[in-house]
């Protein structure tokens, strides 16, 4: 069964079948990553542009690695070295890049909706690598892959996502995807860092961390941007750590099987204590490994073929 989506713009509205297919495929790519030669020729001749308007070394590296492992030709375009500063519009930029005959675009941008915008100005296949506070679908997929590899299932698991939900595309993508996969999602943040309107998200919302982590199979922390303090959204880092930071003390009553996740980079000692981040529970580095597999799966499933019948081999 082929993928029902043409681009990967977000997980909102993506079907359970599609998520399942991406995760299944990613599991098989995970095997490729264990080989001595971690390279398959599948995307040979395909050019993938990594269009990064926001700094994100790890997401870009993960995509670039995924592209290289599939034998695609990555082309890196980052805002700091580009014509952006000369004032070229996004539309002109993408049209210029498209004129170089490219096949796919992986885009990271601070403005929500940019990946959708790009689908309107180019024929290339678009993969969203994070747009504003909107979505970061491959992050949520790698999170779900990590959870599924660990628990061998997704449906019925309880996940607590804790931190700056208001400014988090990771929280949103995970909320959509996990809900679709039948998981029980609780979002936890101080009310100032929680969107005013969460009724449509279909998740449990709380400002009490103990409520959130009670019975949770997975505790996912979000990175706290320290500049949120200066804009008056929380009074002090100390108070934030006290109320929402996860340390061993807060985990006393949490069962042994509960996983700790973080999309990275971690503010050690703020949202997550070091001895928790480095504990047995932590699957933070698995998330990084799985990220490459999930991105290979997305590139593979979206990037093939023009048209015509499947050949007999």
Partner 1 sequence: MKKHELLMDSTALDRALTRITHQFLEKNPDLDNIGIVGMQTRGVFLARRITEKINAMEKTSFQTGVLDVTLYRDDYRTAFKQPKVQITDIPFNINKKELLLVDDVLYTGRTVRAALDALTDFGRPKSIQLAVLVDRGNREFPIRADFIGKKITTLKNQEVALHVNEIDKEDSLWLMQLEEEN
Partner 2 sequence: MYKKANGQTIYPYGPESPKPAILIKNGRVLDPENAIDDVLFVAIKEGKIVSFSTEEPEEFTPDTVIDAAGKWVTPGLVDLHVHLREPGREDKETIISGTQAAAAGGFTAIACMPNTNPVLDEESKIRYVIQRSEYCSCHIYPVGSITKGLEGKVLSPFGEMVKAGAKAVSDDGRSVYNANTMRNALNYAKSFDIPVMCHCEDPDLANNGHMNESVVSTRLGVRGIPSISEEVFVARDIMLAEYTGARVHICHVSTAGAVQLIRWAKKRGAKVTCETCPHYFVFTDEDLETYDTHKKMNPPLRTPGDREAIIAGLADGTIDIIVSDHAPHCAEEKEVEFDEAAFGVIGLETMLGVSITHLVKKDHLSPLDLVKKMSVEPNKIFGLNGGSLSVDSTADVTIIDPDATWTVDPSLFYSKSRNSAFEGLSLQGYAATTILNGKVVFDRTGE
> Judged by CB under 8 A, which of 56, 112, 204, 247 binds partner 2?
112
Measured from the CB atom, is 71 or 229 closer to partner 1? 71
CA-CA distance, 93 to 23, in Å (whole number)?
A: 33
Which DSSP letter does residue 201 get? G
Q: 308 contacts which partner out of partner 2, partner 1, none, CB within 5 to 8 A by kind?
A: partner 1
Of 60-68, 193-201, 214-222, 298-306, the segment contacting partner 2 by CB under 8 A is 193-201
> Judged by CB under 8 A, which of 6, 83, 111, 274 binds partner 2?
111
- Burial (CB < 10 A; 0-12, 13-18, 19+), residue 170, is buried
Half-sphere exposure of 153 (CA within 13 A, CB side): 8
> Judged by CB under 8 A, which of 79, 90, 288, 301 binds partner 2?
90
CA-CA distance, 45 to 311, in Å (whole number)?
A: 19
3-state secondary structure of 246: strand
According to the binding rule CB under 8 A, does residue 198 interact with partner 2?
yes
| 295 Cβ contact partners less than 8 Å away, ≥ 6 residues apart | 62, 63, 65, 66, 67, 138, 142
Shortest distance, CB of residue 195 to partner 2, whole angstroms? 4
Kindly identify the residues of this chain, within the stretch 162-191, that bind partner 2 according to CB under 8 A. 169, 172
List, edge to edge, every strand of the sheet that includes 218-221. Answer: 204-206, 184-188, 158-162, 218-221, 259-261
> Judged by CB under 8 A, which of 98, 113, 225, 266 binds partner 2?
113
According to the binding rule CB under 8 A, does residue 108 interact with partner 2?
no
End-to-end CA distance of the chain: 18
Q: 305 contacts which partner out of partner 2, partner 1, none, CB within 5 to 8 A by kind?
A: partner 1
- The contact set with partner 2 (CB under 8 A) reads 12, 89-91, 109, 111-114, 116-117, 131-135, 169, 172, 195-201
């Amino acid at each position: 069964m082929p993928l029902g989506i043409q681009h990967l713009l977000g997980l909102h509205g993506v079907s359970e079948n599609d998520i399942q297919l991406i995760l299944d495929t990613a599991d098989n790519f995970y095997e490729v990553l264990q080989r001595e030669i971690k390279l398959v020729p599948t995307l040979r001749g395909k050019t993938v542009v990594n269009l990064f308007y926001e700094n994100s070394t790890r997401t870009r590296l993960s995509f670039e690695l995924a592209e290289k492992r599939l034998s695609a030709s990555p082309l890196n375009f980052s805002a700091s070295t580009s014509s952006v500063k000369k004032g070229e519009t996004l539309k002109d930029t993408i049209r210029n890049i498209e004129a170089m005959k490219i096949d796919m675009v992986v885009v990271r941008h601070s403005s929500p909706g940019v990946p959708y915008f790009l689908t309107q100005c180019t024929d290339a296949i678009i993969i969203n690598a994070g747009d504003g506070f909107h979505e970061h679908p491959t992050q949520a997929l790698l999170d779900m892959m990590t959870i599924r590899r660990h628990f061998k299932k997704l449906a019925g698991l309880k996940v607590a996502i804790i931190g700056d939900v208001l400014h988090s595309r990771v929280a949103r993508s995970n909320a959509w995807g996990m809900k679709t996969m039948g998981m029980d999602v609780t979002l936890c943040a101080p009310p100032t860092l929680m969107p005013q309107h969460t009724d449509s998200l279909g998740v449990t919302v709380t400002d009490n961390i103990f409520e959130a982590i009670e019975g949770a199979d997975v505790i996912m922390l979000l990175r706290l941007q320290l500049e949120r303090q200066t804009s008056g959204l929380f009074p002090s880092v100390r108070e934030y750590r006290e109320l929402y930071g996860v340390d061993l003390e807060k985990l006393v009553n949490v069962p042994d099987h509960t996983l700790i996740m973080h999309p990275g980079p971690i503010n050690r000692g703020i949202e997550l204590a070091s001895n928790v981040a480095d504990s047995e529970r932590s699957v933070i580095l698995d998330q990084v490994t799985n990220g490459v597999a999930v991105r290979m799966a997305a590139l593979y499933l979206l990037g093939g073929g023009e048209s015509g019948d499947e050949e007999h081999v």
